[in-house]
Amino acid sequence: MTRTINLTLKVWRQPAAAAKGRFETLHATNISTDMSFLEMLDVVNEQLTLDGKEPIAFDSDCREGICGQCGAVINGHPHGAEKGTTLCQLHMRHFQNGDTIVVEPFRARAFKLHKDLIIDRSPLDQIIQAGGYISVHTGGAPEANTIPISEDRAELAMDAAACIGCGACVAACPNASAMLFVSAKISHLALLPQGRPEAARRALSMVRKMDELCFGNCSNERECEAECPKEISIANIARMNREYIKAGFFSALK
């Protein structure tokens, strides 16, 4: 049954990267519990616009939980407290009438803030560019069954490939580490035969790029795993570490 609720929002407002930011208290009234969190922000922005005020700037694209563009910290949780959920798929039925909701951007040294809730996620793209791919010649797609892959390895690879690169792991980590993201990208290729020829170069170059971009290191706090909207396992970090150590050992022998 649809119902409406009234909420108090404490939203981080920062007009530009170099400007000083602050929390602003706003009121969201007559919000349908069928709305998503981003739809609620749209309603708030409509009212702000009618009042002649600057609307809240936030990122979104697909609004279906598959692109990773949405993202903010809701009451201390990246994407909100619901497990396995992106911000665009967080629905207002999970809040109660009269709740106060604190909304702020992902915070990490590597993520530069542009405006309000919008951050620069391009460092994650730079890590992918450093080696998160397979070099192949263009042409028709090969027959799917040409290279047999065991079901268990295929499942592990697919689980790792589910990462959408939203950056929630970085925002959740006390060290602002990107190791869950990087390990997922390294793992899903390392587990497949197509990814093995470049496995050593990939592990070395992606980890080095991650360090260069000022992401922190992993201290096994597991906040990243707990907050990941795609529930990526930290077992991938162990696999990445093995790949990195192995690659470093063999490169030292050359």
CATH code, domain carrying 225: 1.10.1060.10
217/212 Cα distance (integer angstroms): 12
One domain, residues 128 and 99: no
Q: What pLDDT does 254 receive?
A: 53
156 shares a domain with 84? no
The model's confidence at residue 249, banded by pLDDT at 50, 70 and 90, is confident
Residue 42: inside a domain, yes or no? yes
> Is the same domain home to 128 and 225?
yes
27 forms bridges with which residues in the sheet? 8
Same domain, 36 and 92: yes
Q: What is the mean pLDDT of residues 192-203?
A: 93
Residue 199 sits in the same domain as residue 95: no
Element (H, E) at 5: strand 4-13
pLDDT for 34-72, tens place per residue? 999 999 999 999 999 999 999 999 999 999 999 999 989
Indicate whether 81 and 186 sit together in one domain.
no
Q: Which domain holds residue 26?
A: 4-104
In angstroms, the CA 30 to CA 199 distance is: 53
* CATH number for 37: 3.10.20.30
Same domain, 58 and 175: no
Q: Is residue 114 part of a domain?
A: no
Shared-domain flag, residues 90 and 166 = no
CA dihedral 119, 124, 130, 134 (to 10 degrees): -130
Residues in CB range of 126: below 8 A, 6 or more apart: 209, 213
pLDDT at 41: 98
User: How is residue 200 written in tokens?
Assistant: 């050593």
| pLDDT over threshold 60, residue 253 | no
**Bridge partners, 115 (sequence order):** 118
pLDDT band at 1 (very low <50, low <70, confident <90, very high): low
117 falls within a domain: no
User: 171 lies in a domain?
Assistant: yes
- Model pLDDT for residues 95-135, shown as the tens digit of each residue: 999 999 999 999 999 999 999 999 999 999 999 999 999 98
Instruction: Note whether residue 60 is domain-resident.
Output: yes
Among 69, 165, 172, 85, CA closest to 118: 69
**Is residue 175 assigned to a domain?**
yes
Q: Work out the mean pLDDT of the chain and round it to a whole number.
A: 94
- How far from 209 is each of 124, 130, 152, CA to CA, in Å? 10, 7, 30
Residues paired with 10 in a beta bridge:
25, 102
Structural domain total, the chain: 2
Question: Which structure tokens are listed for 43?
Answer: 């309603």
Same domain for 216 and 244, yes or no, is yes
Same domain, 76 and 191: no
Pairing relationship of beta strands 118-119 and 100-104 according to DSSP bridges: unpaired
- Classify residue 224: in a domain, yes or no: yes
Q: Kindly tell me if the per-residue pLDDT of 224 is higher than 80.
A: yes
**Are 47 and 126 contained in the same domain?**
no
> What is the mean predicted confidence (pLDDT) over 168-194?
96
In a domain, 139, yes or no: no
Whether residues 96 and 129 fall in one domain: no
